[in-house]
Amino acid sequence: MFQRNLVIAFGVATMLILAVLVSGSDAKSLAGFPQPQVHQSSSGVLSLTLQATIARNLVRDPTTGETRLIETPTYNGTIPGPTLRAKPGDSLEILLINDLPSNPLGQRMGGFPHDPYSTNLHTHGLTVSPQGISDNVLRLMEPGTSNPVRVEIPPDHPSGTFWYHPHKHGSVSFQLFGGMAGFLIIGGGPGTLDSVPEVKSAREVLMAFQEIRTDKNGRLPFVNPAATQLGTDGNNPGLWTTLANGNFYITTNGITNPTLRMSPGEVQRWRLLNAASGATLVVALEDHGLHIIANDGITVPNMQTLAPGQPYVLGTGQRADVLVKAGAPGVYRLQALDPAASPGWSVVSASGIDPAPRNVRFSLDLPTPTFPVTLATIVVSGRPRDMPLPAGPLPVPTALPSIETMLSTPPNVVRKIAFEICGQRVFMQPLASRLPTCGFYFDRYDVNYWGGTNFTSLNMMRDGDDAGTPSPDPAEPLVDFQKEALFTHDKPLFDDMFVGNFEEWTVVNRSFSDHTFHIHQNPFLVTHVNGKPLPVPEWNDTMIVPAAQPQPGANPVNINEAMFGSLTFRTHFDPDTVGSFVMHCHVLNHEDIGMMQRLEIQDRHGSPAVAGRRNLAQHKH
């Protein structure tokens, strides 16, 4: 298999090798900055084969300068996979061949992560059908099988930056650690962001930031089958002890710290993607401001300019389209800053509400980088160009209800979602210091649920209105919850989500870890962070829900006495998205052990709201 999938030769510098993946015109225009191979739709169809396969690649350790061979799961042998480019109204016709090894025998089953080499495909951010062979993440694609995928992109779908990646519950982190992800770009025509003169004239640069992990031998092992919790604590082994003391790389298009060249005054459009499994990336460019024109593929009403050096915080799965205007000649670093830095300039929204350290707690068994990490080096030189930036409003997507409509329409339903963590670590031991839901769910998710060995890290995503019943037992102060708190295929969390609904949700974070909320199929309009209104609501499909404050330091903090973080948003259920899909924490170590819920949008048979997308025109403006 390795001979068949060998994509690079030994002994050649990594950057030069991966530059081979750039098409001729792109390689010339970007002066060698690596760009993934492109597959473009033609005559309304984008047809290609994606092969999930173990492949060999070279990666350079920026600390030691050593170039190492790695063998990891990939798409088509490359890190990242190829870029898919389509237009509204096109069809994606993909044959996904699972050429990964057979799953191991004698695995620990139940709710514990298993079947590392089974996979599927998610088109992250697309407002498309979740049913059948479309964007169906409840589908399984086993090793040795060929699986057709057909995704019909609506004719009025927003143009923007989206991506694709595997979504097989229990092995998503593993497959993304290897590099299985790629850009999915929907190009726009007249009346879209792509036609704005200052954007159209800007050179486009794609930057996929990935978190590649291997053991010391360059291979990617799966989880420790004897794990009893997420992270090792004393004699209790963690999920990823298999990668303790391993190697860790943050790459940009498969390269550590590539070089990009610009002319003074030149404007480029950077499509930024955080395709890491769990790392929050606080992205800043030395001495330059980032000009935000889209969040998660959705155009903002007016370009938002960050001060020079001010970071844009990318949670896992998030994208940002930014314009960068090169300054004076010189060398500048595009960096990922320390997300947990104490000054507290790190925010979950560019609106700047409630800056605080961004802490994602998943496992100390996984090596962490030394910040800042240089994502790319920008060399500004040559003849000045003085290209303009956009002025005035940007064209808003016509397929989405207007912001005014979203805010003025009374919601059909108001919901509350809760992220909660229960565990047996030392600071969680006193009964009064753990959430009142923990005792009940520890009993519910017992040794049998976890495949024969107890697992005490409960990373839960619950219906926040499922309040339980008070109990006199201090170990279980609340009992008789009616719904599951960990993922189940069996039934959706809610039975009253109907197509055409306008809904308001508040996602509450009752833990000391950030959680990146993502819902499939339909984006959401964020109106509040921690209960504070945004000056301008923001469309997203993925966004960090801030951790509870204050954070525990030298002295433990009782979670029940902390101030919980929250996001409040409005959403609208598009007719194209009828069916079952999921919402989850996009810190994928959390999702893989259950922090996910199945949802289902139901059809209202005979209702004018589902007779066609065009009947929604009354809601657009």
Higher pLDDT, 352 or 464: 464
Residue 592: DSSP 8-state: H
**Measured between alpha carbons, how far is 360 from 93 in angstroms, rounded to an integer?**
36
Greater confidence (166 vs 432) lies with: 166
**Which of the listed residues 155, 172, 189 is the one where a domain comes to its end?**
189
- Reply yes or no on whether the pLDDT at 513 is more than 80: yes
CB atoms closer than 10 angstroms to residue 430 = 10
Return the closest-CA partner of residue 68 out of 256, 257, 207, 277. 256
Q: How confident is the model at residue 610 (pLDDT cuts 50, 70, 90)?
A: very low
The share of the chain scoring above pLDDT 90, in percent, equals 81
Domain assignment present for 512: yes
pLDDT at 425: 64
pLDDT digits (tens, 9 = 90+) for 205-235: 999 999 999 999 999 999 999 999 999 988 8
Q: Which residue from 199, 330, 314 is spatially nearest to 264, judged by alpha carbons? A: 330
Asked if the structure places residue 328 within a domain, the reply is no
The answer as to whether 93 is a domain residue is yes
Q: What is the mean pLDDT of residues 478-482?
A: 97
Q: Which residues contact 95 (CB under 8 A, 6 or more apart)?
A: 48, 49, 50, 146, 147, 148, 149
Instruction: Give percent above pLDDT 70 in the chain.
Output: 91
- Angle (CA) 616-619-621 rounded to 5° is 125
Contact 570, 504 (CB under 8 A): yes
Burial of 27 (0-12, 13-18, 19+ CB in 10 A): middle
* Amino acid code (one letter) for 371: F
Place of tokens 């978190």: 211
Contact 594, 489 (CB under 8 A): no
| Structural domain that includes position 38 | 14-189
- Residue 576, classed as helix, strand or coil, is helix
pLDDT band at 509 (very low <50, low <70, confident <90, very high): very high
268 within domain boundaries? no
Question: Last residue of a domain, which of 144, 171, 189?
Answer: 189
For the chain, the domain total comes to 2
Residue 159 is assigned to a structural domain of this protein: yes
pLDDT at position 10 over 50 = no
Return phi, psi of residue 272, to 5°: -100, 135
Residue of 147 and 399 predicted with greater confidence: 147
User: In this structure, is residue 23 part of a structural domain?
Assistant: yes
The answer, yes or no, to whether residue 26 has pLDDT greater than 50, is no
Pick the closest to residue 158 from 182, 129, 131, 187 (CA basis). 187
Element (H, E) at 441: helix 438-444
Structure-block tokens of residue 194? 């792509």
Residue 15 is predicted with a pLDDT of 33
Q: Is residue 558 part of a domain?
A: yes
Show which of 189, 217, 243 is a domain's final residue.
189
Q: For position 181, which CATH number holds?
A: 2.60.40.420
The pLDDT tens digits for 114-157 are 999 999 999 999 999 999 999 999 999 999 999 999 999 999 99
**How does the average pLDDT of the chain come out, rounded?**
90
* 397 alpha-carbon distance from chain centroid: 22
Q: Does residue 507 belong to any structural domain of this protein?
A: yes
Across 339-439, the runs of DSSP E, i.e. the strands, are: 373-380, 413-422
pLDDT surpassing 90 at residue 21: no
Q: Is 404 helix (H, G, I), strand (E, B) or coil?
A: helix
Cβ within 8 Å of residue 218, ≥6 positions away:
68, 69, 70, 71, 247
